[in-house]
Amino acid sequence: MKTGTFKGGLEYGVFSVNEVNTPIEELPPPSEVTIPLKQHKGKECKAVVKKGQEVKIGQVIGEGSGPEEALVHATVSGKVTQVIKRFPDIRGRYVSAVTIESDGKDEWATLPEEKTDYLQKGPEELLSLIEKAGVVDFGIEAVPISSKLSLIKDKSVNTIIVNGIDTEPFLNAYKRLIIEKAQDIAEAIKVLKKVSGVSSIYFAIEDRDAELKDKISSAISGVAELAVLKAKFPQAMDRPLIKAVLEREVPSPYGIPEDIGVSVFGVETVLAILDAVRKGKPVIDRVITITGAINSPKNLRVRIGTPIKDVIGHCQGVSGEVAKVIIGGPLMGLAQYSTEIAVSKETSGIFIQSESDLASISRQKCINCGWCVDVCPMNLLPHIISQYCEANIFEKAEGYGLSYCIECGCCAYVCPAKIPLVHWIKYGKSQLEKLEKEEK
């Protein structure tokens, strides 16, 4: 067992977190799903179904052309009612989407079957199964597994970290997955070893839960080394995570973990890989936590394409006046303007915020208290960067490491003056990009 931590970050003691510890529940298939055709890093997929066509679960409805794209599958059986050109994704950009009206039968195109010989297969064969299942590394980047695996080969990666830490302390889906599927995770790691050819694997969890640690440490012994890290946000992000587990720094601002021979996979991702090779099951659902100002917070297994209003409805609706619906957690999540948005491979949770809990900003000047400096995991001076951005002096801000910022939001969380530091930093980054383009 390994322990470790990184500099800065927020200890969980500072939040008033109500952990959602309910077992993962299956959300009944919705009557209609809208499946975005871009749920991965690369370009949008092309729809391969037409309006009016009958589809079954697991049938491919979108195909990409490049390595950064993953297949998109139907997640309910029924009739395609629409192929929409402009459907808002979680970032507020428009993407194409396919709307399927459920026929209620929930029929599979090919029913997933448990096989036992999957570990005998060669890496090539396994890879093609994973590609067919459209697995991406779940999260906001959503890089397809095939693309990650080719990076592993190209950059001769020798260490993989399987991340069992939820992106934010308010979300508990990963934790529930580990508790409920510890044995499957061990199997999944074996598959990952085989398909990637990497033998040194770490499984990262936080030290806040004894049950979790016991479950996983007995399940993965001999398969992967457990790394128990001090519970802190933003540990689930690649840079702090690799620092905490391996004591190594990913080159910044533009490097990727693979540059130092490390690759990171989420725990839900490795389970999806296992499903793909063991059962031939494509990605049709994700486990998400729904919490915040909601009547019954839950961990739910939700079909991709389910409108978030259905998810909210299943949790007995919201309590009080709702001000924000956030995809992800409250620290890094993206506020949505509509509850028609669909759950996608990029969605890790839904956080509902009521009017009374809204964060405020003020016109108070920075008082130089240095709390943002203490919590910055990138060792920056956020207050100075933000002031330069506010004053439109972007070159100076860059001199203080503007582009190193990973936008974890710790600085804006602790700021006693309630300065929207992340806002100014994002603004500075976009303006700097513009300036650089103009120069060229």
Does 349 bind other proteins (CB under 8 A)? Our answer is no
- Indicate the residue among 49 and 308 with the shorter CB distance to other proteins: 308
Chain positions 86 to 125 lying near other proteins, rule: CB under 8 A, are 92
Does 368 bind other proteins (CB under 8 A)? Our answer is yes
> Please, is 157 exposed, middle or buried when counting C-beta atoms within 10 Å of its C-beta (0-12, 13-18, 19+)?
buried
Number of residues that bind other proteins (CB under 8 A): 70
**What 3-state DSSP class applies to 228?**
strand
Chain positions 74 to 93 lying near other proteins, rule: CB under 8 A, are 92
Does 255 bind other proteins (CB under 8 A)? Our answer is yes
Length of the chain equals 440
* Residue 181 neighbours by CB distance under 10 Å: 21
- Indicate the residue among 191 and 341 with the shorter CB distance to other proteins: 341
- Indicate the residue among 196 and 353 with the shorter CB distance to other proteins: 353
- Indicate the residue among 388 and 400 with the shorter CB distance to other proteins: 400
33/29 Cα distance (integer angstroms): 9
Does 33 bind other proteins (CB under 8 A)? Our answer is no
- Indicate the residue among 257 and 266 with the shorter CB distance to other proteins: 257
Does 333 bind other proteins (CB under 8 A)? Our answer is yes
* Residue 350 neighbours by CB distance under 10 Å: 29
Does 237 bind other proteins (CB under 8 A)? Our answer is no
Does 383 bind other proteins (CB under 8 A)? Our answer is yes
**Pattern of binders to other proteins over 302-331, x per CB under 8 A?**
-------x--x----xx---xxxxx-x-xx
Q: Shortest CA distance to 137 belongs to which of 21, 63, 59, 40?
A: 40
In whole angstroms, the minimum distance from the beta carbon of 362 to other proteins comes to 9
Does 337 bind other proteins (CB under 8 A)? Our answer is yes
In whole angstroms, the minimum distance from the beta carbon of 31 to other proteins comes to 19
404/397 Cα distance (integer angstroms): 11
In whole angstroms, the minimum distance from the beta carbon of 174 to other proteins comes to 20
| Contact (Cβ atoms closer than 8 angstroms) between residue 20 and residue 351 | no
- Indicate the residue among 285 and 346 with the shorter CB distance to other proteins: 346
Does 294 bind other proteins (CB under 8 A)? Our answer is no
| Contact (Cβ atoms closer than 8 angstroms) between residue 182 and residue 224 | no
Look up tokens 């990666």; give the residue: 157
In whole angstroms, the minimum distance from the beta carbon of 349 to other proteins comes to 13
Q: Per CB under 8 A, which region of 79-87, 96-104, 272-280, 418-426 contacts other proteins? A: 418-426
| DSSP string for residues in 349-416 | EEEEEEGGG------PPP----HHHHH-TT---HHHHHHHHHTT-HHHHHHTTGGG-----HHHHH-T
Q: Per CB under 8 A, which region of 82-90, 111-119, 145-153, 369-377 contacts other proteins? A: 369-377
In whole angstroms, the minimum distance from the beta carbon of 133 to other proteins comes to 31
Look up tokens 């009944």; give the residue: 28
Query: Count of alpha carbons within 13 Å of 367, Cβ hemisphere only?
Result: 10
Cα-only R_g, the chain: 22
125/180 Cα distance (integer angstroms): 28
282/431 Cα distance (integer angstroms): 40
Residue of 86, 124, 210, 358 interacting with other proteins (CB under 8 A) = 358
Does 134 bind other proteins (CB under 8 A)? Our answer is no
27/302 Cα distance (integer angstroms): 5
Residue of 18, 110, 319, 364 interacting with other proteins (CB under 8 A) = 364
Q: Shortest CA distance to 178 belongs to which of 245, 237, 239, 266?
A: 266
- Indicate the residue among 94 and 371 with the shorter CB distance to other proteins: 371
In whole angstroms, the minimum distance from the beta carbon of 30 to other proteins comes to 17
262/246 Cα distance (integer angstroms): 9
Query: Count of alpha carbons within 13 Å of 133, Cβ hemisphere only?
Result: 28
Can you name the residues that pair with 82 across neighbouring β-strands? Answer: 99
Residue of 33, 353, 398, 428 interacting with other proteins (CB under 8 A) = 353
Q: Per CB under 8 A, which region of 25-33, 73-81, 97-105, 366-374 contacts other proteins? A: 366-374
Which residues of the shown chain bind other proteins in the complex (CB under 8 A)?
7, 14-15, 92, 239, 243, 249-253, 255, 309, 312, 317-318, 322-326, 328, 330-339, 351, 353, 357-360, 364-371, 373-374, 377-381, 383, 400-401, 404, 407, 409, 412-418, 420, 422-423, 426
